[in-house]
Structure 1
Amino acid sequence: MNERKRKKYSRRLFEAVLDGDASRVRALLRAGVDPGRPDWEGVTPLYEASVNGRTGVARVLLRAGAAPDAESAGLGAEGTPLCAAACWGHTATVRELLAHGADPNLREEHGTGWSPLEWARAGAHSETAAVLLAAGAVASERAA
């Protein structure tokens, strides 16, 4: 696939992710779109799906090989998919990420930021926090 086509398909992938259209995401992945390729700002498709609670789309991306712990670098969209989902209390998405190997203790900002559990607790998402704890998340001494 040439670079122009790759960019066009990548843009379509992000549109499908934002729409929550898992069927369209699957079709684009079958056409050769890389499930882990970030957009021009550095935002990954899995981060975008996770922060918006698009569990079905996240599942499709993970099954296609998107790395569950890959950090996104977009302005206002920095961090890991698990932290993004935990921050907003998207419990089903948190479960999906954990089922695909996301590290419940991985801190954002390359290990210097908040953990998924800290994000869940800061947002008062007790169900999400309970899922993370059951998956092995360790509460830290840091105040969230």
Structure 2
Amino acid sequence: MNQRRRKKLSHHLFGAILVGDTVRVKAVLRAGADPERGDSEGATPLYTASVNGQPEIARLLLAAGASPDTESSGLGSEGTPLCAAACWGYTEAVRELLAYGADPSLREDQGAGWSPLDWASSGPHPDTVDLLTTAGAAPTKGGTT
């Protein structure tokens, strides 16, 4: 597949994620969209789905091969998908990420930032805190935002 086609599929994938269109996400992934390819700013599809609280789309991306721990680098969308979902208390998205092996203790900013539990605790999002704690996240506040 050529570069132009990959870029077009990626654009369609992000468009579908942003409007929450699971049918279109499935179609674009079937057409060959890379679930790991970031947008022009560096945000990953899984981060975008997670920060928008879209567990079904997160599941589709994970099943298509998106890594649950890949850190996004887009302006205003830095961090891991799990941190993004935990920050907003999107418990179902957190549950999907954990089911696909997301590390509940992985700190963003290459290990120097906050953990998912730090974000959920500062929300406060008690259901998300409980889910992360059950998954093995240790309460350690040490990062900065």
- Greater mean alpha carbon deviation, residues 2-11 or residues 70-79: 2-11
In structure 2, C-alpha distance between the alignment counterparts of 1:130 and 1:52, rounded to whole Å: 20
In structure 2, C-alpha distance between the alignment counterparts of 1:130 and 1:35, rounded to whole Å: 29
In structure 2, C-alpha distance between the alignment counterparts of 1:44 and 1:69, rounded to whole Å: 11
Q: 1:81 is matched with which residue? A: 81
Q: TM-score, normalised by structure 1?
A: 0.97
Letter in 1 for 2:63: R
Question: Deviation at 1:142?
Answer: 3.1
In structure 2, C-alpha distance between the alignment counterparts of 1:5 and 1:103, rounded to whole Å: 33
Query: What secondary structure, in the 3-state scheme, does the structure 2 residue paired with 1:73 have?
Result: strand
In structure 2, C-alpha distance between the alignment counterparts of 1:130 and 1:33, rounded to whole Å: 34
Structure 1 2/124 Cα, relative in aligned 2: closer, same or farther at 3 Å?
Answer: same
Q: How many residues align?
A: 144
Write out the 4+ residue segments of structure 1 that deviate beyond 2 Å after TM superposition: 141-144
Q: 2:67 is matched with which residue? A: 67
Question: Deviation at 1:141?
Answer: 4.9
Question: Deviation at 1:42?
Answer: 0.6
Unaligned runs of 5+ in 2: none
In structure 2, C-alpha distance between the alignment counterparts of 1:94 and 1:76, rounded to whole Å: 20
Unaligned runs of 5+ in 1: none
Q: 2:105 is matched with which residue? A: 105
Deviations 1:7-49 (A, max 9, x none): 1111010000111111111111111110111111110000000
Q: Is the CA contact (8 Å cut-off) linking 2:118 and 2:141 kept in structure 1?
A: no
Quote the sequence identity (%): 62
Letter in 1 for 2:84: A
In structure 2, C-alpha distance between the alignment counterparts of 1:8 and 1:73, rounded to whole Å: 20
Letter in 1 for 2:28: L
Q: 2:16 is matched with which residue? A: 16
Query: What secondary structure, in the 3-state scheme, does the structure 2 residue paired with 1:111 have?
Result: coil
Q: Is the CA contact (8 Å cut-off) linking 1:105 and 1:137 kept in structure 2?
A: yes
